[in-house]
Amino acid sequence: MLGVRDNSNQRLNVLLSTGEQIWADHLPRLLEPQGVHAIRVSDVDQALDVIEHHRIHAAVIETGGDRNRQGLKLLQVIRRMSPTPPAVLVRGRLFDRRDDNRLLADALKFNAFSVLDQPVHLEQILDTLRRLLERYYGGQWPTASKS
């Protein structure tokens, strides 16, 4: 499992399901001093393991060229969690416009907080997380307790 460590002093757990995006390498280092524990996973199985052991307050899920729909599978899993953490999808362009539209429709159906198109800049992710915290947690960071 990637990036998981004791988070007893952290205030917020963010699940990062990403590929090899540069923003994903920098985001945990920027958020950690703010009390955010960014847990990076590379597939649904790793994410399930993390979800089993940590309360997740938010998720950033990269779909990339996700023809096998792993990102949406993870979003479905997150939707079944209680409490349900808000999720942001970062979608890569698919070669077929119909697949692009289907991915967006599914993201809306599964109640994604936001859908960002690649290439995405670190500032976009940070701003989206700020808005997410404001909307779902009233600007107050929840305490991170293990489930």
Which CATH number fits the domain that encloses residue 99?
A: 3.40.50.2300
pLDDT digits (tens, 9 = 90+) for 50-107: 999 999 999 999 887 655 578 888 999 999 998 899 999 998 776 678 888 888 899 8
Domain total in the chain: 1
| Residue 85 covered by a domain | yes
CA distance linking residue 76 with residue 80, whole number of Å: 7
| Residue 6 covered by a domain | no
CA distance linking residue 19 with residue 68, whole number of Å: 14
| Residue 65 covered by a domain | yes
Q: Which residues pair with 12 in a beta bridge?
A: 36
Count CB atoms within 10 A of the CB of residue 133: 19
Q: Which residues pair with 64 in a beta bridge?
A: 91
pLDDT digits (tens, 9 = 90+) for 1-50: 344 444 444 578 999 998 767 788 889 999 999 889 999 998 889 999 99
Range of the domain at 26: 12-137
| Residue 5 covered by a domain | no
